[in-house]
Amino acid sequence: MEIIDMPKLSDTMTVGTLVRWLKKEGETVAPGDTLAEVETDKATMELENFSKGVLLKHYIQEGEQVPIGAPLCAVGKAGETAPDKAPAAAQAPVIAAASTPAPAPTPVVVVPAATVSVPAATSQERIKASPLAKKVAITEGIALQGITGTGPAGRIIRADVLAALEKGVKGGSTLSLSGATYSPKIETKTFPVTALRGAIARRLTESKLQNPHFYLEIEVDAAPMETMRQTLNAFFAEHTNGETKLTVNDIILRATALALAQVPGVNASWQDTTIAQHGHVHLSFGVAIEDGLLTPVIKDAETKSLRQISAEAKALIGKARAKKLKPDEMSGSTFTVTNLGMFGITSFHGIINPPNAGILSVGGTFKKPVVNERDEIVIGHRMIVGFSGDHRVVDGALGAQFLGKLKEFLEKPSILML
């Protein structure tokens, strides 16, 4: 009989969350079979089996956090009996995903007049669902009671709510408006910090405290970029059966890679006694997922065409949202791009992703009056791009030079086709 322990699946991992068992107790298993999905601080990984036999016993339930080396399951011969509890020598503490939290602070809500009342807690509050899923349900007026969850331990996630909406599932809205009475439902709750959220918190806190940030921003004429994008997409729709479709983010990534190649001092890292200027642009970009943010990396981005970057970015986004990114697909970045334009944000500044010396923050395109070359006031399509720099590596003038080169490429986007 073999006791399979929680392996170390990333260099920074200390605990993992067992998301889902893929093999049941009593099921025959062979070498190479995937026993379970485990969430690390970076991604969801597959737990591989190396023995031939029968999965005799699960020692961990779905949704529990487990330290490295703790027993997960027992695999042995058919008819063999596994102990009810893991052998004492292999025992390690298990952190239940639904452990009793410390009392949460009472929220203070400021509301107009005295006509507002907060309704008593309903059964909807007790349903296991992610915060984003509940938010979407409230917005769309869908009751969670009739929705089947596909997340860990049957938890309802955003995709489940959207799927129910597409099927026409309706229910009593948890938000009611009746005349002048506005009665929102406000939840008071705590929930466990996932391995991913914990890693994000540690890294960004360290970055903000240890890296002396400074901030620049520049306004870009986004009209030429959008015109080129629409022209190319019309061509691709006709000649590639829609297989290629460029996004604004694809163009930003290509322009950033070329700008870093032109201003390589920004494509660098602080190393205490030296500054490392990197010979290639390994470009990471933010992908929002259910419980945090992942940053897959396009390696050697400066050598890749716009279409290549677009295809690779889409593949990495798909893996990120499915939590199937491999560790090497999220490591080794030399610069990071984060884009919140699709959420209606016009400008912001991100926190540097160590060991990068900078991060680019991209806002959405918006209309405003501008003065053209003939001194006429016309409607302009503008975009604000922000830069957060590590002042130990990048000075203001160098950061401005980088943004200036990026602006040139975005306003003359035909250069990006070279």
Catalytic sites, residue numbers: 391
What is the residue whose two structure tokens read 């009665």? 183
Q: Are 236 and 244 spatial neighbours (Cβ–Cβ below 8 Å)? A: yes
- The values of phi and psi at residue 360, to 5°, are -100, 130
Separation in Å, CA 388 to CA 56, 353, 357, 391: 53, 10, 8, 9
What is the residue whose two structure tokens read 């107009």? 112
Distance between the two ends of the chain, CA-based, in angstroms? 60
Q: Are 153 and 91 spatial neighbours (Cβ–Cβ below 8 Å)? A: no
What single DSSP character describes residue 171? -
Angle between helices 248-262 and 223-239 (to 10 degrees): 120
Compute the Cα dihedral for 96, 98, 103, 106 and give only its sign: positive
Residues 6+ apart with CB under 8 A from 324: 43, 44
